Amino acid sequence: MTQTLAVQALAVAEELLADLELSRMPLANCFMKGCRLARLLGDSEMLQIFQWELEGYPTSPKGIPPNSWKGCERANRVFEHEDASTKEITRRAYTDSVERLEASLELQKTRLAAAHDQPVSISSANPNQYVHGPIGNFNERNSVTNSATTTAERLAARRAFLYAYVLERNLELRVSAPAESLFSDRRAAVDRVFRGGGAG
């Protein structure tokens, strides 16, 4: 018996949920499976968004094109930014691919590990003089930590976005796939009868 698209989609959704829940593979690979699920379901809008998640959202020198911006909104990539000098708040979106975000986080972790301070022994020949130790890499560590935190938050949002979509489709498919499979089996049996193949 050939599996129906709904049955295939349910299998992909179940597998993808496990991949996300158990962190069995990089998030970029999960989005590849998400593309397959959207394709099986005929969900062209989400297929395009998942492809942008993998490639990065299109931008131009004038900003983000309208169709790309709509995708950013649907994928929860839009955030509010306050200008430090004017206090004006604008809506912006990050457009980096999931793979680039993952690579960036790994690089930031490496930089953070390399930015530790070496022990320094400081003394003075003058017993009345107090010598301060060097500031060290505090500023660099602080900058990398902030950057890594932002990247980690964005990756968590990507994971949550994909998970919510797959979970919703999974619940729908749990109802429709068995019914569709049963209908497909019955139709095949009827076709065999009409072709003279008998009911068995």
Minimum mean pLDDT among 25-34, 89-98, 173-182: which range? 173-182
* Higher pLDDT pick, 30 / 3: 30
Minimum mean pLDDT among 19-23, 30-34, 116-120: which range? 116-120
Contact 12, 33 (CB under 8 A): yes
Predicted TM-score (pTM) above 0.85:
no
Contact 92, 81 (CB under 8 A): yes
Residues 20, 18: Cα–Cα separation, whole Å: 5
147, pLDDT greater than 70 = yes
Query: Confidence band (pLDDT; 50, 70, 90) for 112?
Result: confident
Contact 76, 157 (CB under 8 A): yes
182, pLDDT greater than 50 = no
